[in-house]
Amino acid sequence: MTDTNEATIRTGIGGWTYKPWRGSFYPPDLAQKDELAYAAGQLATIEINGTYYRTQKPATFERWAQAVPDGFVFSLKAPRYVVNRKRLDEAGEGIARFVNSGIVALGDRLGPILWQLPPAKPFAADEFGAFLDALPDSVDGMGLRHAVELRHDSFACSEAIDLCRAAGVAIVYADSDDYPAIADTTAPDFVYARLQRGDNDCDTGYSPAALDEWATRLRNWAEGRQPQDLPCVDTQASPSTSKPKDVFAYFIREGKVRAPQAALALQQRIDA
């Protein structure tokens, strides 16, 4: 983790329970119950996948918070029962159910909430706008940050960018062969990236050259600048006047076996 002009850059992984990491990332004799504490001692952030698949109890969130050190934060993947519904503009009840499920027990360990839309879900302005409007700014006095991963090509349009920017919701930058790459910064104070081109045959997941490039991009975002080599929909935006932004970057999907090594190698470059 590093601070850049009052913004923080964190790199991490998705989840912490993955059998191939035992012996490659985790020590061979580490008890499974201690894996979170070990991972949090090495990394600056983890994107929790379990919240996508099932409702967690407040005591679970509290236990997770107690297992990690000061300065560590989780992002939470929002439940599939919210994002996979037929109409997003009818998701308000599910959104409220999730944010009131006890996530406040994470305290200052709570980072952004990721709302990952299905690849088959196309952009519909009124429906998507209503969904964004239903995302609360806070819960029980705790401020919330929201990021949306838009996985249908139709979202790569200025209207979707404008709606996210007006709502203060970040669009996830997906480094992926499968989903649209949208580098527009739409949240006022943070950027969220999911790096999905890893290679299990590479010791550091991404090549050293690719990690160097990502370190530069993350620093640019943190300093309020737009990386010049990433595609934006709104080419008229003026990033030079942007304020510093916290950056969250997760190694996900492809090359998962090497995701922890990739996150560590990228964080080392940033912190150097």
pTM metric for this prediction:
0.95
What the block records as the tokens of 149 is: 């991963």
User: What CA–CA distance (Å, rounded) separates 98 from 79?
Assistant: 7
pLDDT at 255: 92
Cα distances (Å, whole numbers) of residue 104 to 116, 139, 146, 265 = 21, 7, 15, 31
Type of residue numbered 93:
E
> CB neighbours (10 Å) of residue 114?
27
- Going residue by residue through the chain, which has 272 residues, state the pLDDT in tens, using 9 for 90 and above: 655 557 999 999 999 999 999 999 999 999 999 999 999 999 999 999 999 999 999 999 999 999 999 999 999 999 999 999 999 999 999 999 999 999 999 999 999 999 999 999 999 999 999 999 999 999 999 999 999 999 999 999 999 999 999 999 999 999 999 999 999 999 999 999 999 999 999 999 999 999 999 999 999 999 999 999 999 998 766 454 579 999 999 999 999 999 999 999 999 999 98
Q: Look up residue 144 and give its two tokens.
A: 């919330």
* 2-271 topology per CATH: TIM Barrel (3.20.20)
* Residue 75, token pair as written in the block: 């992002």
Can you give the pLDDT at residue 4?
A: 55
pLDDT at 234: 85
pLDDT at residue 272 in the model: 87
Q: DSSP label at 143?
A: E
Whole-number CA gyration radius for the chain: 18
Domain boundaries, the chain: 2-271
d(CA 228, CA 78): 31
